[in-house]
Amino acid sequence: MSSKEKKSVTILTESQLSSRAFKDEAYEFYKELRKSQPLYPLSLGALGKGWLISRYDDAIHLLKNEKLKKNYENVFTAKEKRPALLKNEESLTKHMLNSDPPDHNRLRTLVQKAFTHRMILQLEDKIQHIADSLLDKVQPNKFMNLVDDYAFPLPIIVISEMLGIPLEDRQKFRVWSQAIIDFSDAPERLQENDHLLGEFVEYLESLVRKKRREPAGDLISALIQAESEGTQLSTEELYSMIMLLIVAGHETTVNLITNMTYALMCHHDQLEKLRQQPDLMNSAIEEALRFHSPVELTTIRWTAEPFILHGQEIKRKDVIIISLASANRDEKIFPTADIFDIERKNNRHIAFGHGNHFCLGAQLARLEAKIAISTLLRRCPNIQLKGEKKQMKWKGNFLMRALEELPISF
């Protein structure tokens, strides 16, 4: 999207926000929005009219605003209820990310015990073993695609073991995850995604039947137990929760590991500083989360009550989408926002969200990234991009900032 095109655009569409071209120039576009149009109009097809939020202070305010709802049933009457875009939508959307209090609190409570500080620390040795095993496979080649060979398998193995899912199914999750986070409303894409989501639902049904027969000490077995107690979890909520944990349990971490490695290799001074001062790793991870936020745009929020923002009335049923990537580059909050600085102080990024829906797995993602990057730098001290920076391509995807691949040599 050129500068000339940016000036002529009055309404952004879902397909534009999802395009690779937009991802390539998003940071400059966001910078213009923060200056002059912090509330930017969107056309979201069947979802209706929406607004894109680009400033940090607005993001913080709206992420906690009780006038915005994640569950559209708390906004629309029965007569206004939109038809499902996908046949399998109901089976995969009844999770905590699409819920509001008190349902959100109930659903979050069912799984948060698995993500306590103590439970996460118990995974450290396991994650280290996985990282070493993955590098053992590629190190003799002196080359790997970091996404396929390292950043994707590490978190999917971790979450699969937590949930009690066979590891041989992990490649299926990659395909299904992409279908879930693909917001396209193009008819052919909708049909393809619906087919993939149907496969996912069938898989979940089979998995749950097996776990009912043979419960174990995993998270899915614990959720099935909660469902069997009646009021805690419905069957749809069970399937939706498992889906969310699979997708959210790896997708963000894949991007964090990949984007952080990419940022370090594009900023050799910072990479060398981290090599010399490994105690900067935690700070470097926070800066990577800010600089290339793994989740670029939030999932949708519906306006339950009208309100005014920047002189514009936000009407009931309007959609609000917040650019975490833009908020994390807001110059008013982050001095030298476009500079990657692993020693940045007071790094108040919101890469994991804010308020009720702050990412439950944030601590796990940080630990996985810390072990993954530390191990990579220790075992492969001469890593460098295989190819030029301009050859690296961001995926065309609505929600995520994700590289298609990251070829590196060492």
Q: What phi, psi does 344 have (nearest 5°)?
A: -60, 135
The pLDDT tens digits for 63-119 are 999 999 999 999 998 888 765 656 666 777 889 999 999 999 999 998 988 899 999
CB neighbours (10 Å) of residue 217? Answer: 7
pLDDT grade for 2, boundaries at 50, 70 and 90: very low
Peptide bond into 102 cis (omega under 30): yes
pTM (2 decimals)?
0.93
From 61-65, 229-233, 335-339, 386-390, the region with the lowest mean pLDDT: 229-233
Question: Does residue 7 register a pLDDT over 60?
Answer: no
Helix (H, G, I), strand (E, B) or coil at 307: strand
CB neighbours (10 Å) of residue 3? Answer: 10
The pLDDT tens digits for 100-115 are 999 999 999 989 888 9
Tell me what the mean pLDDT of segment 143-166 comes to: 95
Please state, rounded to an integer, the average pLDDT across all residues of the chain: 91
Q: Which residue has the higher pLDDT, 237 or 370?
A: 370
Residue 400: what residue type? M
- If you search the block for the tokens 């069957």, which residue do you land on? 235
Cα dihedral 315, 316, 318, 322 in deg (nearest 10): 90
Tell me what the mean pLDDT of segment 343-357 comes to: 96
- Residue 389 class from Cβ within 10 Å (0-12 exposed, 13-18 middle, 19+ buried)? exposed
Q: What phi, psi does 36 have (nearest 5°)?
A: -125, -25
Residue 235: what residue type? T
Can you give the residue ranges of every domain in the chain? 3-409
Domain 3-409 belongs to what architecture? Answer: Orthogonal Bundle (1.10)
Please, are residues 291 and 262 in contact by the beta-carbon 8 Å criterion? no
Q: What pLDDT, on the 0 to 100 scale, is given for residue 364?
A: 96
Residues 6+ positions from 239 with CB-CB distance below 8 Å = 91, 92, 94, 201, 204, 205, 208
What percentage of residues in the chain have a pLDDT greater than 90? 71
Q: Rounded distance, CA 341 to CA 193, Å?
A: 39
Q: Rounded distance, CA 180 to CA 120, Å?
A: 26
The pLDDT tens digits for 257-271 are 999 999 999 999 999
